[in-house]
Amino acid sequence: MKLSDFDFDLPKSLIAQYPHKKRTGSKLLVAGESFVDTIFSQLGKFLHPNDLLILNDTKVIPARLYAQKASGGKVEVLVERIIDKLEATAMIKSSRAPKIGSYIVLENGQRAQVVNKSSGLYNLIFDTNSIFGLLDKIGHIPLPPYIERGDEKQDIDRYQTVYAKKDGAIAAPTAGLHFDNALLSELTKSGIKHDFVTLHVGAGTFQPVKTEEIENHRMHSEYFEVNQGTIEKIKNTKASGGRVVAVGTTAVRTLESIAMHKDITAKKGETDIFIYPGYKFRIVDAMITNFHLPKSSLLMLVSAFVGHEKMIQIYRHAVKKEYRFFSYGDAMLIEKKL
């Protein structure tokens, strides 16, 4: 398929700049044979007692740093991955690309040296005992570029799932932002189980697909973990006739990454899986996800899951009904095309 097959007109007014005042108050589109417009708090009505929700427990780190070059020019650093206590890979935005060996000066006066560049990412050595500690002191929540405002105090809480546990993401697994502890408890009492995987969402999640032949696109690699207890719950759910419901495209990509091997077992490592139409899903039966960017790999994943024609119908309906789009937007519940 062509990149142009995944384009659509989206009024700017539908791009959510702030979260809904209540997590479960967002709208939910249930896109089965017919479309149902409801509220996320009603999710349980559309799940089955034997279903298993798979949630991504990654935790967003305050990965954006404001700095300046030693020469004085302004610099914005987005930490992509922390390698050890002193070293990290990062994206750097400045009027001129920093030179290898040069220093940038952070807001608190500490420095970081640019030591390498590879595949668009810089390697930085920080003058600190702990990069995590440094980010906690002066880092900013890395809101995505389509949220056209600076981070605010409420984003510390709201751009984070209530079950976030493992530090490492620079973007939230946004489908999970609609859950609160009360809803998870309510679903559990109804016989709808949940468990966790981890995928540390990287900057590549916002990278547009630029190749007209979409199969030529290459995803950035991201770290993931799935433990054996989760594997057993998935197998038991399948055996009992329940559905594996992935909460977000990151959970989908994590589960389908472990399904690439004949034996589905616990695994941790790197994945650059790119799911687009023609892909055969092996684990995920249903998905909860937000509404995605035009021409994005995430939109292609949704198209692979429900079929291209159904995806187009869903997005036309969402625009017509004025659903809110992207990270702080509304959600949909969709089932795999048989």
* pLDDT for the residue numbered 109: 94
Q: How far apart are CA 217 and CA 219, in angstroms?
A: 7
- Alpha-helical segments (H) within the chain: 131-138, 155-158, 181-189, 228-239, 249-258, 297-306, 308-320
The helix/strand count (H/E) of the chain reads as: 7, 17
Exposed / middle / buried, residue 98 (Cβ in 10 Å: 0-12, 13-18, 19+) = buried
Q: How far apart are CA 320 and CA 317, in angstroms?
A: 5
Residue 190 exposure: Cα atoms within 13 Å on the Cβ side: 19
**Can you list the domains of the chain with their CATH numbers?**
3-60+155-335 (3.40.1780.10), 64-138 (2.40.10.240)
Strand-pairing partners, residue 114, are: 124
Say how far residue 331 (Cα) sits from the centre of its chain.
13
If you ran DSSP here, which 8-state letter would residue 10 be given?
A: -
Q: How far apart are CA 10 and CA 298, in angstroms?
A: 16
Residue type present at position 23: R
Reading the block at residue 174, the tokens are 């946004």
Reading the block at residue 20, the tokens are 């809904």
Nearest residue to 270 (alpha-carbon basis) of 203, 315, 223: 223
φ, ψ of residue 126 to 5 degrees: the values are -95, 145
Residue type present at position 305: F
Ranges under pLDDT 70 in the chain: 206
Residue type present at position 195: D
- 3-class DSSP assignment, residue 181: helix
* pLDDT for the residue numbered 70: 84
Residue type present at position 76: E
Predicted model pTM = 0.95
* pLDDT for the residue numbered 206: 66
Measured at the CA of 176, the angle between CA 331 and CA 137, to 5 degrees, comes to 130
